[in-house]
């Protein structure tokens, strides 16, 4: 793989003979290349070469097999992190490594998880990734209202940098999206010198960090390759002086929902990518989050969605589901759930408030993973607003997916 940056931040890349146009992201998901160029706007003209290298790697990693050649020399430490993590030869080598900045920034999406993470650090600046059209790839997902989400981010009143990028269109299949989950940070990486960033906070919660949620495994994953500090991405970001920080990595989506709805940013919370004046109430994300919100607020489910809707049909099938721990939490707590579209899923689980109570508390190892400069603040917030898991609750996390949990 050969990587070239031109102008402020236009990335183009050329595959080597051994590279393949259908690659695999770190979560093993197969993805197909659509186009070999993209732009990132809203970033400075210059940054440390390791920041350019990591930003490029978040895009090109899935398609790279044996080597990656950057257009400017990187540090030996960064080359080593690429070799240790992916087995690729990276170069040329010749730069001094970047010293971490002193500030934590939040990679802010506006969803409940990201709002909860932001609430823990009221002084942290936001970097918001906004999808824009690619000049040479047709937009097959026109209902994604990234303009609405950017506007809500601006209404938070926080220090904000909006990065506009078409990098998601480098993906032909399954749909436009981040080649690696970490590509959402490409702009934040290029801003790291200008904003003095030493840590980047993401809204990934316990399901994503520890329970193998999302689109890969449904089991306890202490060595999660994407988000563990000792995983390959954690080590790569750290080598570039931008530590991955998961402020809400130890709590469930029920807890991030509760924290977000109780935060000063409550009016700006938006997980739906489609709605304009509010959530659309008619997409899979809205249904899933409505279940969680109804459980948190102890009220009946309120959705116009019918059993025929494809997003509803998912729950007529056998588990596992994405975010299954939250489905169980909702089934156990939403009054009258047996009269809703989720009723069929009740047959698959034997749930109760007692067996889902662990999802109201924080998994302590998640706090230990937060780098030292930002740990005490997170721990104090968790102590005041959430509380730590008991030993038996910790066991629920650590046996997740083994058949030992409810
Ligand atoms: Zn929606």
- The CA 281 to ligand 1 mean position distance, Å, reads 5
Distance 324 CA to ligand 1 centre (A): 19
For helices 324-333 and 284-297, the axis angle rounded to 10 degrees is: 50
**CA of 206: how far to CAs of 34, 202, 279, 338, in Å?**
32, 12, 24, 27
The Cα-based distances of 39 to 54, 117, 146, 163 in angstroms read 15, 28, 16, 10
Residue corresponding to tokens 């609430």: 119
For residue 224, the CA-to-ligand 1 centroid distance in Å is: 29
Tokens found for residue 217 = 């495994």
274 Cα: distance to centroid of ligand 1 (angstroms) = 6
- Beta-carbon neighbour count of residue 337 at 10 Å? 20
Ligand 1 centroid from CA 109, angstroms: 15
Report CA(302)–ligand 1 centroid distance (Å): 13
Cβ atoms of residues 218 and 207 within 8 Å: no
Strand partners, 12: 4, 37
Q: What is the pLDDT of residue 28?
A: 84
Cβ–Cβ < 8 Å for 246, 204: yes
Tell me how far the alpha carbon of residue 135 lies from the centroid of ligand 1, in angstroms: 27
Residue 172 CA to ligand 1 centre (angstroms): 23
For residue 141, the CA-to-ligand 1 centroid distance in Å is: 14
Residue 15 alpha carbon to ligand 1 centre in Å:
37
Q: How many CB atoms lie within 10 A of CB 53?
A: 29
- What separation in Å is there between the alpha carbon of 142 and the centre of ligand 1? 14
What average pLDDT values come out for the chain (406 residues) when binned by 10 residues? 95 96 88 96 96 98 97 98 98 98 98 98 98 91 90 97 97 89 98 98 97 75 95 98 98 98 97 92 96 98 96 90 92 98 94 96 98 98 98 97 62
Q: Find the 160 Cα to ligand 1 centroid distance in Å.
A: 25
CA of 290 to the centre of ligand 1 (A): 10
- Residue 383's φ and ψ, nearest 5 degrees, are -60, -40
Q: How far is the CA of 292 from the centre of ligand 1 (A)?
A: 14
* Sheet containing 22-24: order of strands: 22-24, 30-33, 171-173
Distance CA 45, CA 176 (A): 27
Q: Mapped to the 3 state alphabet, what secondary structure does the chain carry? A: CEEEEECCCEEEEECCCCCCCEEECCCCCEEEECCCEEEEECCCCCCCHHHHHHHHHHHHHHHCCCEEEEEEEEEHHHHHHHHHHHCCEEEEEEECCCCCCCEEEEECCCCHHHHHHHHHCCCCCEEEEEECCECCECCCCCCCCHHHHHHHHHCCCCCEEEEEECHHHHEEECCCCCCCHHHHHHHHHHCHHHHCEEEEECCCCHHHHCCCCCCCCCCCCCCCCCCCCCCHHHHHHHHCCCEEECCCCCCCHHHHHHHHHCCCCHHHCCCCCCCCCCCCCCCHHHHHHHHHHHHHHCCCCCCCCCCCCHHHHHHHCCCCCCCHHHHHHHHHHCCCHHHCCCHHHHHHCCCCCHHHHHHHCECHHHHHCCCHHHHHHHHHHHHHHCCECCHHHHHHHHCCCCCCCC
pLDDT in the model for residue 214? 62
Ligand 1 centre distance from Cα of residue 248 (Å): 23
Number of residues that this document lists for the chain: 406
Q: How far is the CA of 53 from the centre of ligand 1 (A)?
A: 35
Q: What are phi and psi of 221, to 5 degrees?
A: -130, 75
> Residues 89, 91, 95, 101: is their CA dihedral positive or negative?
negative
Q: How far is the CA of 251 from the centre of ligand 1 (A)?
A: 23
pLDDT of residue 406: 43
Cα–Cα distance, 235 to 238 (Å, whole number): 5
Ligand 1 centroid–CA 272 distance in Å is 4
What's the gap in Å between 277 CA and the centre of ligand 1?
Answer: 11
- 285 CA from centroid of ligand 1 (Å): 6
Do 126 and 105 touch, CB atoms closer than 8 A?
Answer: yes
């Amino acid at each position: 793989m050969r990587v070239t940056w031109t102008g402020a931040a236009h990335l183009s890349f050329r595959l080597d003979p051994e590279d393949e146009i259908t690659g695999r992201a770190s979560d093993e998901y197969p993805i197909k290349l659509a186009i070999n160029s993209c732009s990132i706007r809203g970033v400075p003209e210059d940054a440390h070469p390791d920041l350019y290298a990591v930003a490029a790697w978040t895009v090109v990693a899935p398609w790279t097999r044996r080597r990656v050649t950057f257009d400017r020399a990187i540090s030996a430490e960064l080359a080593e992190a690429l070799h240790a993590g992916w087995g690729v030869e990276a170069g040329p080598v010749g730069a001094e490594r970047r010293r971490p900045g002193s500030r934590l920034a939040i990679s802010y999406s506006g969803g409940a998880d990201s709002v909860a993470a932001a609430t823990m650090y009221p002084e942290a600046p936001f970097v918001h990734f906004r999808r824009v059209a690619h000049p040479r790839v047709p937009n097959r997902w026109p209902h994604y209202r990234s303009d609405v989400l950017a506007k809500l981010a601006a209404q938070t009143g926080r220090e904000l940098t909006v990065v506009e990028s078409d990098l998601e269109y480098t993906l032909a299949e399954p749909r436009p999206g981040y080649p690696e989950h970490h590509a959402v940070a490409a702009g934040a990486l290029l801003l790291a010198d200008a904003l003095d960033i030493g840590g980047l906070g993401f809204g990934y919660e316990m399901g994503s960090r520890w329970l193998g949620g999302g689109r890969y495994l449904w089991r306890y994953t202490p060595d999660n390759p994407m988000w563990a500090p000792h995983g390959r991405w954690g080590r790569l970001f750290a080598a570039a002086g931008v530590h991955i920080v998961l402020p809400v990595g130890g709590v469930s989506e029920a807890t991030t929902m509760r924290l977000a709805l109780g935060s000063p940013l409550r009016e700006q919370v938006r997980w739906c990518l489609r709605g304009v004046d509010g959530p659309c109430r008619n997409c899979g994300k809205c249904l899933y989050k409505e279940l969680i919100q109804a459980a948190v607020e102890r009220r009946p489910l309120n959705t116009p969605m019918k059993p025929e809707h494809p997003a509803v049909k998912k729950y007529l099938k056998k588990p596992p589901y994405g975010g299954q721990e939250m489905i169980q939490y909702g089934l156990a707590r939403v009054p009258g759930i047996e009269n809703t579209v989720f009723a069929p899923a009740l047959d698959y689980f034997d749930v109760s408030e007692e067996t889902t109570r662990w999802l109201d508390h924080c998994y302590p190892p998640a706090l230990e993973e937060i780098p030292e400069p930002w740990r005490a603040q997170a721990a104090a917030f968790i102590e005041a607003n959430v509380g730590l898991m008991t030993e038996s609750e910790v066991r629920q996390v650590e046996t997740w997916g083994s058949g030992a949990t409810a």
